Amino acid sequence: MSGMLETPELPAVFDGVKLAAVAAVLYVIVRCLNLKSPTAPPELIYQDSALARFLLKSCPLLTKEYVPPLIWGKSGHIQTALYGKMGRVRSPHPYGLRKYLTMPDGATATFDLFEPQSEHCIGEDVTMVICPGIANHSEKQYIRTFVDYAQKNGYRCAVLNHLGALPNIELTSPRMFTYGCTWEFGAMVNYIKKTYPQTQLVVVGFSLGGNIVCKYLGESQANQERVLCCVSVCQGYSALRAQETFMQWDQCRRFYNFLMADNMKKIILSHR
């Protein structure tokens, strides 16, 4: 009779709970890291033209399957966190000269100039005029890496330092960079055109910088003179429409909005 009244041993129940907890954690990891998402070639959206065909022929990597690094490579959130905290491994440190330009309103625009380390493959003088992302400058690791690669391939690089972004450069007027102001970028381009009258330009903008360079080229036909092409990387095309998505929790957008706002607040307070 006593044997019939025996209850299951508690350790077995606990083992089941532990197993369920481990399974739940593994499920969350797989979902968060997107480990089940298949690898595929990038989706290309372009107009069929001679230029597009030339680019596809010259850059076959654009049509190949992208295989990201194992474990963390399929999650944009993990990539953002790792790069933001750790940066690149053995990031290069290209040497450049800092230039100072006085703007009409008294602001002091700065940019860094990097000379090419080899001859360009077509034997011509080509300068990349580069506009970094929001609150960024020439000392950021992704900019240094890009400049180092461009220098080694024969490009001169001029990198704008967004007004107020450099911690050791004080503001000399009551304003800092904005989402659509092209004054500093235009002053840098004009300096390059005047100093190197034979050079051709490749305009490059990252994120916020993509908006600025596209707006600059569209403001005047004269701004397009001697420009071979414009490359916009990860550009947010509409700041007004993006405001709505920034307040959504989907894909942690609201959290990223908080981080960007906090970074902007720190920059503003550093110039008190």
| Confidence label for 18 from pLDDT (cuts 50, 70 and 90) | confident
Mean pLDDT of the region 19-26: 83
Spell out the domains of the chain, with CATH numbers in brackets: 17-83 (no CATH), 90-237 (3.40.50.1820)
CA distance 216 to 201: 14
Mean pLDDT of the region 185-204: 97
Q: Is 70 exceeded by the pLDDT of residue 144?
A: yes
Which has more confidence, 26 or 102? 102
Mean pLDDT of the region 147-166: 96
At 71-129, the pLDDT tens digits run 778 888 888 777 766 667 778 899 999 999 999 999 999 999 999 999 998 889 999 99
- Please count the CA atoms within 13 angstroms of the CA of 106 that sit on its side-chain side: 6
pLDDT at 202: 97
pLDDT at 139: 92
Helix extents (H) in the chain: 10-32, 50-58, 76-86, 141-152, 183-195, 208-219, 239-246, 253-269
pLDDT at 145: 92
Q: Is 70 exceeded by the pLDDT of residue 11?
A: no
Three-state SS letters, 195-226:
HCCCCEEEEEEECHHHHHHHHHHHHCHHHHCC
This prediction has a pTM of 0.83
Q: Is 80 exceeded by the pLDDT of residue 8?
A: no
CA distance 52 to 242: 29
pLDDT at 209: 94
Of 135-139, 176-180, 216-220, the range with the lowest mean pLDDT is 176-180
Which has more confidence, 239 or 134? 134
pLDDT at 104: 94
pLDDT at 152: 95
User: Please, what is the average pLDDT of the chain?
Assistant: 88
121: its two tokens: 């493959």
pLDDT at 200: 97
Cα 235 to Cα 69, 207, 212, 240: the distances in Å are 24, 4, 10, 14
Asked whether the beta carbons of 126 and 155 are under 8 A apart, the reply is: yes
pLDDT at 1: 47
pLDDT at 78: 80
At CA 71, angle to CA 70 and CA 75, rounded to 5? 105
| Confidence label for 12 from pLDDT (cuts 50, 70 and 90) | low
Which has more confidence, 202 or 72? 202
Mean pLDDT of the region 27-46: 81
